[in-house]
Amino acid sequence: MKTTITSIAFIVIAGVILSAYIMNSNKGAEPVVLSENAQRSADEFSKPIASDFLEARPEIAVLPKQDISASEKAALLQMREEEKLAHDVYTTLGTVWGVQVFANIAQSEQTHTEAMRALLEKYAIADPSTSDEVGVYANPAFTKLYNDLVAKGKVSIEEGLTVGALIEDLDIADLEKFIKETDNEDIKLVYGNLTRASRNHLRSFTAQLSVRGLEYVPTYISAEEYKSIISTPKEVGTGVGHQGGQGGGRGNGMGAGI
């Protein structure tokens, strides 16, 4: 189904992807080779927290099934493939670069796309992701975006990590938008937990860039929200809100983390 949301969020992105992908004043610099200890420390920081892997289905099932609008349905379809996109890009770049952060976060993204599938099943919406094959999507905009991101991420490990930060930046912006546009408790639960996990993933990728002397500049969320996210510790627990972030305080405190 053609949706305005998909057209705005992704066809435009395909043309401008990584215009924000940053090396800041470090553009053109030689890749930074980390010591074994520095890389080990960065990888350890980048491990997703255990709650990123918790099963969401029981929490989704106990919440009421509410009426769903066309825009809410379109958002569910978009996020199902957007989370698969993140998983697929990280899986591919993990193979290319052998940096543990990609493998760690790809595991979490698999949980995220499965949580979105659970919502689609609950609301009897046909799942657009009929194949688990990496790089395969129902929406051709995602196929182009996958190819663009992987091509950029293969240029260097620094650009690969920046691709990761950009994906999480985009996820946060989309999820925050969709949270505001739904009143369905189960959808808010999943979106809220995915947003929290994406903030943790953004912290992980920017930490990897930081140990290489590089800085990420956000494209989709505000500079103020980005600063708030990376200046606070990894989040553990549940809910929609983010203390100190733009648009925070929306937490409902429900359910298991994803």
pLDDT score of 217: 97
Between CA 167 and CA 257 the distance in angstroms is 20
Between CA 23 and CA 148 the distance in angstroms is 18
The token pair that represents 24 in the structure block = 């800041």
Residue 41's pLDDT band, with cuts at 50, 70 and 90, is low
Residue type, 145: L
Q: What is the pTM of this model?
A: 0.77
Q: How far is CA 207 from the centre of its chain?
A: 16
The token pair that represents 101 in the structure block = 């952060």
pLDDT score of 234: 85
pLDDT score of 95: 97
Topology (CATH level 3) of domain 45-126+133-230: Ferritin (1.20.1260)
Return the half-sphere exposure (C-beta side, CA atoms, 13 A cut-off) of residue 78: 24
Evaluate if residue 65 carries a pLDDT over 90.
yes
Q: Hey, CA dihedral for 43, 134, 179, 169, is it positive or negative?
A: positive
Tens digit of each residue's pLDDT (9 = 90 or more) over 229-254: 999 988 876 544 443 333 333 333 22
Q: For residues 80 and 117, is the Cβ–Cβ distance under 8 A? A: yes
Query: Which contiguous run of DSSP H or E holds residue 143?
Result: helix 140-153
Residue 19's pLDDT band, with cuts at 50, 70 and 90, is very low
